Chain A
Amino acid sequence: GAVVSQHPSRVICKSGTSVKIECRSLDFQATTMFWYRQFPKQSLMLMATSNEGSKATYEQGVEKDKFLINHASLTLSTLTVTSAHPEDSSFYICSARAMGGVLNTEAFFGQGTRLTVV
């Protein structure tokens, strides 16, 4: 099946610094990538949807200036948490949807990134 690689898997940063998380589709082209946030023992909350070459669409309540999303190519999207604070500590997961074909109905998920802000 299609593979989505997310990096890093874990990151610890100091409060006030920025952290970049990468999401790559390794063997398919992803027209759309999704970024989710997951709090402990809770479901996934969609943060934003990004389409290659255009601005991301953010869900209500998600600060676009704090969570910068760039989808510069069909295989790479990045999420940058700017000026991170302890309340941003969470598990962030990306997913990617392929262009057309039988993969079109399915989203493939990265391994997730555990962000801890100290």
Chain B
Amino acid sequence: GNSVTQMEGPVTLSEEAFLTINCTYTATGYPSLFWYVQYPGEGLQLLLKATKADDKGSNKGFEATYRKETTSFHLEKGSVQVSDSAVYFCALSDRGAGNMLTFGGGTRLMVKP
């Protein structure tokens, strides 16, 4: 079956530091990959996505590249801000599984001023 593994948190960084949150996946088909962000007490918001190999998703300074050879979709940001503090979820959607989303465990990011 499909699965998503992401690094455990919390990840604590100082403002303007470089961020990487690792995400690897296992899928039987050709999934689309997503990063969602959840701010305290809120639902999930789509941060970025990539639908095929070598695609790069980007939004709000965050980037992730769909790497089929390493089955990875690592999230990066060059300079984090306090407002980026949230929980980040990596997820995949597989047409073979009815486009159902499979989530990783989530990584809490805390950015200190």
Number of interface residues of A (CB under 8 A): 23
Cβ B45 vs Cβ A106 within 8 A: no
Chain B facing A: main interface SS: strand
Q: Flag whether B26 is at the interface (Cβ < 8 A).
A: no
Decide yes or no: A106 and B43 within 8 Å by CB, A43-B89, A43-B104, A46-B100 being known contacts: no
Pairs A-B, 5 closest by C-beta atoms: A112-B43, A109-B44, A111-B43, A109-B43, A43-B105
Decide yes or no: A111 and B104 within 8 Å by CB, A44-B89, A97-B99, A105-B93 being known contacts: no
Number of interface residues of B (CB under 8 A): 22
Which residues of the partner chain A approach B41 to less than 8 Å between Cβ atoms? 112, 114
Query: Which residue of the partner chain, among B46, B89, B104, B105, contacts A106 with CB atoms under 8 Å?
Result: B46
Q: Flag whether A78 is at the interface (Cβ < 8 A).
A: no
Q: Show 28 residue pairs from A and B whose CB-CB distance is below 8 angstroms, ordered by the A residue.
A: A34-B100, A34-B101, A41-B106, A41-B108, A42-B106, A43-B89, A43-B104, A43-B105, A43-B106, A44-B89, A44-B103, A46-B100, A46-B101, A49-B98, A49-B100, A93-B44, A95-B44, A95-B101, A105-B93, A105-B99, A106-B34, A106-B46, A108-B46, A109-B46, A111-B42, A112-B41, A112-B42, A112-B43
Question: Which chain B residues in 33-70 approach chain A with CB under 8 Å?
Answer: 34, 36, 41-46, 49, 51
Which residues of the partner chain B approach A112 to less than 8 Å between Cβ atoms? 41-43
Give complex CA distance A42, B108 in Å.
Answer: 10
Give complex CA distance A8, B14 in Å.
Answer: 36
Chain A facing B: main interface SS: strand
Which residues of the partner chain B approach A97 to less than 8 Å between Cβ atoms? 99
Give complex CA distance A2, B38 in Å.
Answer: 17
Q: Flag whether A73 is at the interface (Cβ < 8 A).
A: no
Interface string of B79-111 (1 = CB under 8 A from A): 000000000010001000011110111101000
Interface string of A77-106 (1 = CB under 8 A from B): 000000000000000010101000000111
Q: Flag whether B20 is at the interface (Cβ < 8 A).
A: no
Cβ A107 vs Cβ B43 within 8 A: no
Q: Flag whether A6 is at the interface (Cβ < 8 A).
A: yes
Q: Flag whether B22 is at the interface (Cβ < 8 A).
A: no
